[in-house]
C-alpha cells in the first residue's frame, strides 16, 4: 500500500473511484437520483468535482496492487483535506488542459445543469456550509483552525483492505503535527471507521426539503489534538516497513526499518 499526495495525473483514477463509490454513499443517490439515466453526464460531473478537489484542497491518494499476482498498483481511494490556518498551504495546482476520456464516450460531455435534483443539491451545500461554520469553524478556528476532511472514498472492489484507515490517519497525523482538531461530516460508510480512530460526535443535522419524506442525517465528528497519537503503535503497525510512504509535513519520504 502506498499513500501519497495526488497529482493532476491522478484525475482519471480519482474520477473512477468517485463514480464507483457514489452509489454506496446516501449523499449521491439523494442529490442525483437520476444519475443512472445519464451515466456520461454524471461521469463528467464527477470528473469536474475531482478536478476541483485537486485545485482547492490537499488531496491524498492510496495505491494498492491490482491483484495478488502483480506488483502493479493503481489508485483505489482518495481523500481531500482543508488544512488549518497554521499550516502552510500547498502550492496551487493547474487544471489539465486535456480532459481524460470516458470508457463509454470519446470525451466527457458537458453535464447538463438539470442532472440530479438541483433543489436538494442547493439545500445540501447550504446545510454543510452553515453547520461547518457553527460546529467546526466557530469552535476551532480561534485556536488556529482544524484539519477538515471534505471527502474520503474507496472503490468498492478494494474496500475493507485498509485504504480508508490509511487515508484517515494521514489527516489525523497532520492535525497532531499542528496541534489542532481533525473534523469530518461522516457518511454511514465512514462513521464506524472514524469512531474507531477516536472521533467523537459534536453535533448532527438533517437535510430534508419541506414536504419530502427522504432526508439525510449527517453527524459531525471531531478528534482532539493528542487523542490520535499512537494509533498505529496500538495496532502493532510500524511506520518503517519498506515501501510505506511516511509524511514529513506536506512532502513524503520512503522508509525502511
Query: Which pLDDT tens digit goes with each residue over 106-134?
Result: 455 555 556 889 999 999 999 999 999 99
| pLDDT-based confidence at residue 242 (cuts at 50, 70, 90) | very low
Q: Quickly tell me which residue has 489539465 as its cell.
A: 96
What is the domain-level CATH number for residue 249?
Answer: 3.40.630.30
Average pLDDT over residues 166-171: 95
Residue 134 DSSP one-character state: I
Residue 135 DSSP one-character state: I
Length of the chain in residues, anyone?
Answer: 257
Q: Which residues contact 7 (CB under 8 A, 6 or more apart)?
A: 93
Domain that holds residue 56: 2-254
Angle, in degrees to the nearest 10, between helices 39-56 and 11-21: 120
Strands annotated E in the chain: 2-5, 58-65, 73-82, 146-154, 181-185, 200-207, 216-223, 245-248, 251-254
Q: How many domains does the chain have?
A: 1
Distance CA 241, CA 249 (A): 19
| pLDDT-based confidence at residue 255 (cuts at 50, 70, 90) | very low
| pLDDT-based confidence at residue 141 (cuts at 50, 70, 90) | confident
| Residue 40 backbone phi and psi in degrees, to 5 | -70, -40
Percentage of the chain beyond pLDDT 90 is: 58
Average pLDDT over residues 231-242: 38
pLDDT digits (tens, 9 = 90+) for 5-16: 999 999 999 999
Q: Quickly tell me which residue has 481531500 as its cell.
A: 80
Average pLDDT over residues 241-256: 35
pTM: 0.78
Q: Which residues contact 166 (CB under 8 A, 6 or more apart)?
A: 1, 3, 62
Instruction: Let me know: does 14 contact 204? Beta carbons within 8 Å.
Output: no
Q: Bridge-partner residues for 152, per DSSP?
A: 79
Distance CA 250, CA 59 (A): 11
Burial zone of 190 (CB within 10 Å; 0-12 exposed, 13-18 middle, 19+ buried): buried
Q: Grid coordinates representing 134?
A: 457553527
Of the candidates 244, 217, 188, 241, the one whose C-alpha atom is nearest the C-alpha of residue 21 is 188
Residue 193 DSSP one-character state: H
Edge-to-edge strand order for the sheet containing 2-5?
A: 2-5, 58-65, 73-82, 146-154, 181-185, 216-223, 200-207
pLDDT digits (tens, 9 = 90+) for 35-77: 888 899 999 999 999 999 999 999 999 998 877 777 788 999 9
- pLDDT recorded at residue 114: 66
Amino acid at each position: 500500500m502506498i499513500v501519497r499526495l495526488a497529482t493532476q495525473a491522478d484525475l482519471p483514477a480519482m474520477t473512477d473511484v468517485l463514480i464507483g463509490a457514489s452509489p454506496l454513499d446516501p449523499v449521491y443517490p439523494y442529490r442525483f437520483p437520476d444519475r443512472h439515466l445519464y451515466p456520461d453526464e454524471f461521469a463528467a460531473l464527477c470528473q469536474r468535482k475531482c478536478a476541483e478537489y485537486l485545485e482547492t484542497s490537499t488531496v491524498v491518494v492510496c495505491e494498492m496492487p491490482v491483484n495478488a499476482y502483480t506488483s502493479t498498483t493503481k489508485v483505489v481511494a482518495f481523500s481531500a483535506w482543508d488544512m488549518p490556518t497554521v499550516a502552510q498551504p500547498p502550492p496551487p495546482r493547474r487544471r489539465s488542459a486535456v480532459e481524460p476520456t470516458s470508457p463509454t464516450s470519446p470525451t466527457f460531455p458537458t453535464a447538463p445543469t438539470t442532472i440530479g435534483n438541483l433543489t436538494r443539491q442547493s439545500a445540501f451545500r447550504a446545510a454543510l456550509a452553515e453547520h461547518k461554520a457553527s460546529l467546526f469553524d466557530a469552535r476551532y478556528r480561534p485556536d488556529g483552525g482544524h484539519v477538515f476532511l471534505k471527502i474520503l472514498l474507496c472503490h468498492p472492489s478494494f474496500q475493507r483492505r485498509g485504504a480508508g484507515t490509511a487515508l484517515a490517519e494521514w489527516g489525523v497525523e497532520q492535525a497532531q503535527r499542528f496541534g489542532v482538531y481533525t473534523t469530518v461530516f461522516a457518511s454511514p460508510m465512514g462513521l464506524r471507521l472514524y469512531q474507531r480512530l477516536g472521533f467523537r460526535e459534536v453535533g448532527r443535522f438533517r437535510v430534508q426539503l419541506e414536504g419530502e419524506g427522504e432526508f439525510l442525517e449527517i453527524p459531525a465528528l471531531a478528534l482532539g489534538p493528542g487523542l490520535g497519537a499512537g494509533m498505529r503503535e496500538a495496532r502493532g503497525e510500524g511506520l518503517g516497513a519498506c515501501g510505506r510512504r511516511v509524511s514529513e509535513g506536506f512532502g513524503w519520504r520512503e522508509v525502511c526499518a
